[in-house]
Amino acid sequence: MVHWRKLDHSALIRMVKVYSKIFTVGIRLLI
């Protein structure tokens, strides 16, 4: 259970990084 939570946490960080990258690219396209 603890190992799964740790794995989920790392996946969440990865998703946030990907979303921030897409967000910055979107702003660059708008400007």
pLDDT score of 29 more than 80: yes
pLDDT digits (tens, 9 = 90+) for 10-21: 888 999 999 999
Whole-model pTM: value is 0.52
pLDDT value for 8: 79
pLDDT score of 28 more than 70: yes
Alpha-carbon distance 15 to 7, whole Å?
12
Confidence category of residue 1, pLDDT binned at 50, 70, 90? low
How many residues can be counted in the chain?
31
pLDDT score of 3 more than 60: yes
